[in-house]
Amino acid sequence: MKYNFDEIVNRRNTYSMKWDGGEFIKKMGLTSRYDEETLPLFTADMDLPVPQPLIEALHKTVDHRIFGYSVFPNEYYEAIQHWFKKRHNWDIKTEEIIYSPGTVHAVNIAVRAFTEPGDGIIIQRPVYPPFTRAIESNGRNVRNNALICDENGHYSIDFADFEAKAKEENTKLFILCNPHNPTGRVFGAEELQKLSDICSENGVIIIADEIHGDLVRINQTFLPIAKVAESTDHIITFTAINKTFNVAGLHCTNVIISNSNLRTKFIKELGMHLASPFTISALIAVYNEGEEWLEQLKEYIDGTMEWVVNFLAERMPKVKTRIPEGTYLMWLDFSGYGISPEEVHDRIYNKANVILEDGSMFGEEGLVYQRICLPSPRPIIKEAFERIAKEFEDLK
């Protein structure tokens, strides 16, 4: 089936955080302006309809008319195993799979399961802000192994600093984000092996948040760290259908832990969580029948990114960016305008009436950046960039 991702589906009055969440978004501090004309391109969900087999599976669940407690059938585990074997050549055993109603929830559980108050946890800023919150709100300490950005906007790992931080007393955990949000880096085999080796040598457990792993550019390959590491004894991987198939509202994360001691600790902290019948039928549908849709989606997002790069080169050449290896996010460097981050914010959020995410939310390394989420119909993206360009015209 051919999907039409240019179609604009009105999300207003559907409880959408982006399209209905004005007061909530203001409270979060993202913006002070939100009205009917606002274009919200911030949080990482898609304004695009999901695969047809998923819609049919959910209809079937609704038509049954009873929504009681559910158990995970064998097909649930088999669908996960099938997907990761086929897409990433990764063999996952049934007993290694643990359901969690969300990834951020699972990060918090891992922090509490594997560290004590006062312990150090490595993250690589600029990075997804809930990592910092999970560390600090649980009384642990951030050890920031900031990524290094070269003059072309390419990010790499400072391994000397990483090793020093791994060796620091009380460093117990490393939260890896791969593909990396917001920079879009997809780390290669050598980088992942090195990270794994350093952690293994220093008794540091790795939490690998790989929930953007299915969303890489068509010419890129994603490697799960558990596939390339010498041993997976110290590796815990978070996978999810929420980003890949635009079902964040169904709350479906699967945590993969091969080390049975770590698995026991994690499960103890997690407690019992059952999924809804909608979540279970959704996962089975997308992992068994969602591939055709995903391939078309990837092509569409690649096309949008190319459009953005060309638009910026022509209309806003002072904004530096690059097509990321993975994710559907772009990381835009506004420093070329020589104005303050506050003024950049004012022109985009208040004047152009577009909501992005201020780079400062990802750590001080992101101060001059804006993050944009691109999985929306291209006409919406085009309008957003037209509006933004107009507000920067006087600074050409």
Ligand X SMILES: Cc1ncc(COP(=O)(O)O)c(C=O)c1O
* Cβ proximity to ligand X, 251 vs 347, nearer residue: 251
Site pattern 200..239 for ligand X (x: CB under 6 A): ---------x-x----------------------------
Give me 388's structure tokens.
């933004």
* Cβ proximity to ligand X, 146 vs 164, nearer residue: 146
Q: Where are the beta strands (DSSP E) in the chain?
A: 39-40, 97-100, 120-123, 141-144, 148-149, 155-156, 171-177, 205-209, 235-240, 253-257, 329-333, 354-355, 357-358, 369-373
SS3 373: strand
**Least Å distance between CB 53 and ligand X?**
22
- Does the protein bind ligand X through residue 361 (CB under 6 A)? no
Cβ-in-10-Å burial (0-12, 13-18, 19+) of 35 comes to exposed
- Residue 147 in contact with residue 125, Cβ under 8 Å? yes
SS3 172: strand
Dihedral pair phi/psi, residue 379, rounded to 5°: -60, -35
**Region of 60-68, 96-104, 214-222, 364-372 interacting with ligand X (CB under 6 A):** 96-104
**Least Å distance between CB 254 and ligand X?**
10
Q: Round to whole Å and give the CA distance between 48 and 41.
A: 13
Q: Round to whole Å and give the CA distance between 282 and 220.
A: 27
Quick one: which of 20, 49, 52, 104 contacts ligand X (CB under 6 A)? 104
* Cβ proximity to ligand X, 76 vs 128, nearer residue: 128
- Residue 100 in contact with residue 266, Cβ under 8 Å? no
**Least Å distance between CB 273 and ligand X?**
13
* Cβ proximity to ligand X, 211 vs 352, nearer residue: 211
**Region of 215-223, 240-248, 301-309, 353-361 interacting with ligand X (CB under 6 A):** 240-248
**Least Å distance between CB 239 and ligand X?**
10
**Region of 100-108, 167-175, 200-208, 331-339 interacting with ligand X (CB under 6 A):** 100-108
For 227, other C-beta atoms within 10 Å of its C-beta total 17
Identify residue 181 by its one-letter amino acid code: N
Site pattern 22..61 for ligand X (x: CB under 6 A): ----------------------x-----------------
Which residues neighbour 336 within 8 Å (Cβ) at sequence distance 6 or greater?
Answer: 317, 318, 319, 320
**Least Å distance between CB 215 and ligand X?**
10
CA distances from 271 to 123, 169, 370 (A): 26, 30, 38
**Least Å distance between CB 45 and ligand X?**
8
Q: Which residue, among 382, 345, 323, has the nearest Cα to 183 in the 3D structure? A: 323
Quick one: which of 110, 240, 275, 297 contacts ligand X (CB under 6 A)? 240
Quick one: which of 181, 196, 244, 258 contacts ligand X (CB under 6 A)? 181
**Least Å distance between CB 44 and ligand X?**
3
* Cβ proximity to ligand X, 49 vs 102, nearer residue: 102
**Least Å distance between CB 278 and ligand X?**
15
Cα dihedral 256, 261, 262, 264 sign: positive
SS3 114: helix
Quick one: which of 81, 183, 232, 242 contacts ligand X (CB under 6 A)? 242
Residues 244-263 that bind ligand X (CB under 6 A): 248, 253
**Least Å distance between CB 166 and ligand X?**
21
Q: Round to whole Å and give the CA distance between 127 and 179.
A: 11
Residues 126-145 that bind ligand X (CB under 6 A): 128
**Least Å distance between CB 125 and ligand X?**
13
What is the distance between the terminal CA atoms of the chain, rounded to a whole angstrom?
Answer: 44
Quick one: which of 177, 199, 275, 354 contacts ligand X (CB under 6 A)? 177
Binding site residues, ligand X, CB under 6 A: 44, 102-104, 128, 177, 181, 209, 211, 240, 242, 248, 253
